[in-house]
Structures are given as C-alpha cells and as structure tokens.
Amino acid sequence: MKTFWVLTAAVAAQGAGNTCLARGMREIGAEGGLLSALSAAFGSPWVWVGTLCLLLFFAFFASALSWADLSLVLPASAFGYVVDVACAAFFLGERVSVWRWAGTVVIAAGVALVSLSARKPAPAPQREPGP
C-alpha cells in the first residue's frame, strides 16, 4: 500500500512541477537565445517552484524503486503524463485535442493493467525453534 501512496505523491509532484515549469518558461519566452532564457529562468519563482516539485518527484520515485520493481514503478509513474495533460488544459489553458485525450486514456488504461499485475511479496519463511 505504501507503494501506491508514494507513487501517487510522485505523480502529483511531477504534474505540479511540469505545470509550474511550463508556466515560468512561457513567461520568460524564447527571445534572446538560450543563455538569456537560462538567465531569466533563475529569476522566475515559477521555474524555482517547478524545479523543487520535480526534485520532490525524483525523491518519491527513487524511494519507490528501493522497495518495488522497476517494471511496476516506471509504468505507474507514467500516469504523470495523464496529470500533465489535465494540468495543461485546466491550469495553463491549453487546447487539448480529442486525439491527445484519447492517447491519455490509452496511457491510463496501460497503467491500470500494470498495477493489476503487481507482484505480491513471498511470505517470510518460518524459522524452526532452536535447541
């Protein structure tokens, strides 16, 4: 159950981080080239909050990998793509086409299939009483 909650927190942090980072970078714009954009990014609170959220995502993701299979954690964290699309539509005002929503539903279905196949840990062996 802890894997579920840690992955849920990871996906939420990823969605928040990507949304804040996108907002901050859009405010900066692409004028002036890469160095100008990077310099402006250091002064953007949205970029800082987004980066901190993405660091939090990484911490949750790494924690989940310490006790769960990569073949479960990685696809489950892909649910973050669904959250990203929803955040783009609702918080950033992006127009998301029907095809993008359909792809998002396919990702969600894949995550559901992977989570159903979660391997249950083997019970600990019973120790025989010693002399």
DSSP labels for 29-78? -STTHHHHHHHHHTT-HHHHHHHHHHHHHHHHHHHHHHHS-HHHHHHHHT
Given a cut of 70, whether residue 110 has pLDDT beyond it is yes
Domain membership of residue 42 (yes or no) is yes
Question: What tens digit of pLDDT does each residue of 50-73 get?
Answer: 999 999 999 999 999 998 888 888
Domain membership of residue 126 (yes or no) is no
Domain membership of residue 37 (yes or no) is yes
Domain membership of residue 123 (yes or no) is no
Domain membership of residue 15 (yes or no) is yes
Domain membership of residue 27 (yes or no) is yes
Domain count, the chain: 1
Question: What tens digit of pLDDT does each residue of 71-104 get?
Answer: 888 888 888 888 999 999 999 999 999 999 999 8
Domain membership of residue 83 (yes or no) is yes
Range of the domain at 41: 2-116
